Structure formats: structure tokens, C-alpha cells
Structure 1
Amino acid sequence: MPMLMAMTILLMPRARAQTPSPLSEWQYSVGIPLEKMFEPETPTWEVRVGLGAIYRPRYDGASSYQVLGGPAVDVRYRDLLFASTGEGIGVNLVSTPHWRAGVAITYNLGRREADDHAHLRGMGNINFSPEAKVFVDYVVSKEIPLVIRANVRRAMGGSDGWIGDLGAYLPLPGSSETFYWFAGPTVTFADARYMNTWFGVSAEQSARSGYAQHQASPGIKAYGAGLSAIRFFDKHWFATTDASVSQLVHGIASSPVVQRATSFSFAVSVNYQF
């Protein structure tokens, strides 16, 4: 098992499709902490490019879904710098066989009233915004390749709030040298500013939309689980599949903006690694 895992993780892709939402945060960096555990010497450059698409809710709490497509790009310099459509642009400040930690700039697509005018009329837009992210990963051991991941993000615009994730994932049985898959849970937290931007209804919004005023509390936003699979066709070409489910907690699900508390997402990408 350790040898098979090492061979697979050396080729582990990191490219993901389009946007850091709403897949579990760990799904955008699946396999990276394990690579350091099984192969301390990393290449000077790692470059992967591809195309991907994701089927996802139009916004948190929506009942309607949309398909978004775009490039999947992942560039790594040594075990230090990275630029990825999933993980953002960042630097690893700590990188050991058990620990990986660093900072990055990622983004949030926001929410537009026009995306669902029938339900968002009068609520206004939540603008696209970059996010500053601090992250840390911990790998238990080679014998127990459990990865625990935590991150905190600060929106610079949009909600102007704090949000973070705590999750874990583990390689699943049935993997081979050309196929590997992972699964794990995740919990998402947010502060009052973030919660009220997305799920609150102010007096002004209530007057415009007709919704009752609603105050959202800070704390747990949602919990869920994710599944990621990677299939290699040869040493250059590979495909990824990601699926996730997320459940908004009761206090958030009771918001007038929320139509459906449980959401799903499904993403695929086809990639080439140099």
C-alpha cells in the first residue's frame, strides 16, 4: 500500500475547475500534503493545464443550478510557490513530511441579483472579491495517511467577512497506479458580517424585496462531505472528478433567502501535465 500510494501521489494532479466554491476546500489541494510524506524531493517546476466544468447551485441556498466552465491551471515551483485555479496564488511557509502551512490569495464569485431575479429581487449584489487565505495541513503518518486541513479566509470586498473550513480526507481502497480516490468531511464557519451579507435581510432589503427582516448569527455555516477521483490515461493526460454535498445549519437555513438547505456540486476536468 505505501509503495502504491507513493507512485500515485508523485503524479497527483492539483488542477481543479473554475472556482473555489462550493466544493470542499480540501478537494482543491487533494494529495499535496501526502506527496511530501512519500517523496521529500520535489521537482523544480510542475505545470498542469486543462479544461474543466462544474455543476453547482447558482448561489448558497439556491434551488436552481448552473454549469460553469473554464481553464484549469496549476503551476508549482519547488515546494514553495504555487498558482492554481483552485488553491489560488500563494506560498508555502512550512513544508515538512507532516505539516504544510502558508498563505494565498484566492477569490469568491459573489452573487448577482440577476442570477435569480424571482428570489433575489431587492437583495442587491454581492460583488466578486479576492480573499486572503491562511491554511495549514497535517498528515498523520504513512501507515495512516489521514490529512487534516484547516484554513481561514478574509474577503476583501464582497461580504467583507471572515470564513474558514475544517476538514479531513483519506485515500480509499480500490486505488491503483492509474486511479486514485479520496473522501472526507468538512465544516465551514463564518463571522456575523459574512453570514448577514449572504443570508441576512436588512430593513432596507426587506422594504425592497418583501422578505421579513432576518439576522444571521456567526458560527457554523454548513457541514458536508466530498469525494475526489483521479484517472491517468498515460504519463501526461489525466482526468479528475469531484463531487460534494453541503448542508446549511438550521439557523442559516431559516433565512428567507434560502430556498434549499442541501446542495450538491459535481466537477470534471481533463488535464495535461508537462
Structure 2
Amino acid sequence: MHKRTTAAAASVIATLAAALATPASAQTPSPLAEWQYTAGIPLEKLMQPSLPTWRIRVGPAASFRPLYDGSDRHHMVAGPSIDIRYRDLFFLSTGEGIGMNVLSGPNWRVSLGAAYDLGRRARDDSSRLGGMDNINPAPAVKLAGEYVISKSFPLVLRADVRRYFGGSNGWVADLGAYMPMPGSSQKFVWFAGPGVTFADSRYMNSWFGVTPNEAARSGHPAYRAGAGVKSFGFGVSATWIINKHWLASGDAAIQQLVGDAVHSPITQRATGTVLDMTVTYQF
């Protein structure tokens, strides 16, 4: 009975591993966990070793999320969802960025890619950010690694580190884990898991600090944010298989700012949430 149950579970995961959650944008800080941008990718290779040469999924996406980390205001962001992969080598994704898998095995991979941060503008929330410097848009380099425990226990462990060039000029790192949840079937699969985000002092001061000049202009007290844990979070990603070409995905996540981030005078709400919806066509 145990072998039949394990085989059935593996069959479900194999069918659904290609049904990826590809949110509208990964560029701006969001309560979404980093693993939610690539949910299913490591399982796809483990469960289906003979991957097609090209995997292409495109469609519209919308996200309801905070204006910026620590904001108590939300806005709707809409745009395309794109996920293009060539063998187990190259990828172009609105969630993961553009890059390649530099090392890989049957149940793990290490990728190197480029992403882009849209930054933050004072005019986005003049009542709270008036007098604060803008955080300019900036490119980033991202090194990430993922590891699946086994087919019978498909827990995925993920770690990544990003370096921004311009904007915050800082370093950010994430640790996360997720796995398929009970109730997944041939037409529906959902993943859930926690994550934690770390950042250096440059990044923390860009997003949560207040310089003496900014304090004089904005009325906020001067504040210096140090390096350390920025936030803890938990995410859920679900995909519905409409047919062999059409997929509908939803993502929800909650993030709790901690440490110097939560004590910043910029922070209005320590707990942030986000909801994403995506409809994709799979070629």
C-alpha cells in the first residue's frame, strides 16, 4: 500500500511540476517568498528527467501588494507573466530573471542570473516619503541554489543571494523551503512553505534608514538601520490545470518585518501581504 501511495503521489507531482507559479514581477521588495517565483522547477526535472528542449509559458498577471516594504497602502500591479526555459540550461522569467544553471544534478541546481529592482520613489507616498531620497532602479546579480530531498519526500530547500548595483547598492539573502501539500491532484496542486530574508547595512539603510539630511526635509527622526534579519514570511502557491495548454495560478504570502526594519520611522505596518493571479498559455 505504501509503495502504491508513493507512486501515485509521484505521478501527481510529475504531472503538475511543470505548472509553475510565475508572478508578475520579482523586481521590487514584496512579501512573496523567493521560492514562489520558481515553485516547481526543481521537481519538474526530478519527476520528468526527459524535459522538452523548450518550455514556454506566457500570459497576463496581476498583483495586489504594498507600495513598498513597511507601507500600509497597497496597489495593483499588472503585466505579462513570461517563463521561457531551454533544456536544463537557460531561463528567461519575469520571476527568476535571466540566467543559466551553472551546476545541476537530478535533484538540485545552482543558477546565476540577472534581475532588476524598480526601486522606490518619494512621490509614491508623499505623506510618508516626502523629503526622502529616491531609491533608483538598479540591476542585480543573483546566485541561487535548490535541492529536493527525494521523490517520496519532495521537500525543496532553497537559498539565494543578490547584489544590487545602484539603488540600495546592497546585499540580500534568502533561505526558504516548500513542498506539495495534501489535496494536490491531477488538476490542482499547491505548495506552501516558510522563508527568511537577510540584508546588509547598505540595503537596510536605503529602505529603512533616515539620513540627517532626509530627517531635516521629511520631519522623520534620523535613523540608522543595521545588517541582520529583515523579515520572516510564509507563502502559498496554487495552480489549476485547465487543459494541456492553459494554466491558472494564484499566490498568497505574508511577511513580518523584524529588527531594525520594524523599528524604522518609515515603517507604517510591520506585516505585509500580497495576492497574485496569473493565467498562462503553455506551448
TM-score normalized by the length of structure 2: 0.94
- Give the Å deviation of 1:242: 0.3
Give, in whole Å, the separation in 2 of the partners of 1:19 and 1:96.
26
Is 1:133 the counterpart of 2:147 in the alignment?
no
- Give the Å deviation of 1:162: 0.3
Q: Equivalent of 1:75, from 49, 59, 84?
A: 84
- Give the Å deviation of 1:80: 0.2
- Give the Å deviation of 1:15: 2.9
- SS of equivalent to 2:189: strand
Is 1:115 the counterpart of 2:124 in the alignment?
yes
User: Aligned residue for 1:7?
Assistant: 15
Give, in whole Å, the separation in 2 of the partners of 1:7 and 1:72.
21
- SS of equivalent to 1:2: helix
- SS of equivalent to 1:4: helix
- SS of equivalent to 1:79: coil
Is 1:194 the counterpart of 2:203 in the alignment?
yes
Equivalent pair of 2:174/2:195 in contact (CA under 8 Å) = yes
Change (3 A) 1:15 1:250: closer
Equivalent pair of 1:37/1:98 in contact (CA under 8 Å) = yes
CA RMSD of aligned residues (A): 1.0
Moved over 6 A (4+): none
Equivalent pair of 1:163/1:191 in contact (CA under 8 Å) = yes
Structure 1 residue runs of 5 or longer lacking an equivalent are none
User: Aligned residue for 2:24?
Assistant: 17
Give, in whole Å, the separation in 2 of the partners of 1:125 and 1:40.
46
Give, in whole Å, the separation in 1 of the partners of 2:49 and 2:67.
41
Structure 2 residue runs of 5 or longer lacking an equivalent are 1-8
- Give the Å deviation of 1:81: 0.2
Mapping of residues 111-190 of structure 1, within 5 Å: 111-190=120-199
Equivalent pair of 2:250/2:275 in contact (CA under 8 Å) = yes
Mapping of residues 34-45 of structure 1, within 5 Å: 34-45=43-54
- SS of equivalent to 1:252: helix
Is 1:48 the counterpart of 2:83 in the alignment?
no
- Give the Å deviation of 1:98: 2.1
- SS of equivalent to 2:154: coil
Mapping of residues 249-260 of structure 1, within 5 Å: 249-260=258-269
- Give the Å deviation of 1:168: 0.3
Q: Equivalent of 1:86, from 95, 108, 121?
A: 95
Task: State the one-letter code of the partner of 1:168.
Answer: A
User: Aligned residue for 1:212?
Assistant: 221
- SS of equivalent to 1:124: coil
Number of residue pairs aligned between Structure 1 and Structure 2: 273
- Give the Å deviation of 1:206: 0.7
Is 1:231 the counterpart of 2:240 in the alignment?
yes
- Give the Å deviation of 1:13: 2.5
Give, in whole Å, the separation in 2 of the partners of 1:59 and 1:238.
29
Equivalent pair of 2:21/2:250 in contact (CA under 8 Å) = no
Range 20-29 or range 240-249, more displaced: 20-29
